[in-house]
Amino acid sequence: MAREPDPGKHKHRVSLVSGGNRGIGFEVVRQLAALGHTVILGSRDLAKGEAAARAIGDGVPERVIAARLDVTDLAGVEDAVKEIDRRFGALDVLINNAAIHYDTWQTAVAADVEGVVRDAFETNLLGAWRMIRACVPLMRRNRYGRIVNVSSGAGAISSMGAGTPAYSTSKAALNALTIIVADELRDSGILVNAVCPGWVATEMGGAGGRPVAEGAAGIVWAATLPDRGPTGGFFRDRKPISW
């Protein structure tokens, strides 16, 4: 993470976005920076993260800071959050965006459980869980926080069917985690919600989806909710959807 010219108490909301170097994560970083947030752009590959931060920073200089962040690495997650605390003294927003394996090629009965499925859960569920565990103490200290778990309609049990077994089950578990954490943190000043961005035209989603900016807008909405905003909900385009 590059050194800021004036470390210390933050003047703007401080946000952390995992998987921020491309796709929906990149657009979420861009939109939050445009709103005046100081955004930590997390990326497993620091060079790619730094390139993405420069691309956004051309329009909002010194608002986007790249950091190496692999959500499957507990020690790395904890180190990144400690560095945020050291520099800013706060973390206001956590966007759990990092996700892998939209496994259209698999069936549940023949899935690669020890490979693809385990990897999906490590990132899509446990990665978000590690991030929440590391970030909540900073939010509790300032009695303010917004946690957004980027989920998917594929994880809604109410409409679930065959297909993408690793991705769908990991997102269903992420939805369950959202409800549990939101209830634990009720009355703490920390709002926790899951957001489905819809089918978005990204590297993972493929061609034909909606514009990335539209999918990201609902995530940014949840990241900037007022103090009396909803918590423990599942949303798409700012409207509740079925679990």
Residues marked active site are found at 167
| Alpha carbon distance 1, 227 (integer Å) | 30
Q: Judging by beta carbons within 10 Å of its beta carbon (0-12, 13-18, 19+), is residue 156 exposed, middle or buried?
A: buried
Q: How far is CA 158 from CA 8, 235, 237, in A?
A: 46, 14, 19
- In the three-class reduction of DSSP (H, G, I as helix; E, B as strand; rest coil), residue 93 is classed as strand
DSSP for 11-34?
A: SS-EEEETTTTSHHHHHHHHHHHH
Encoded tokens for 153: 């309609």
Q: Which residues pair with 16 in a beta bridge?
A: 40, 94
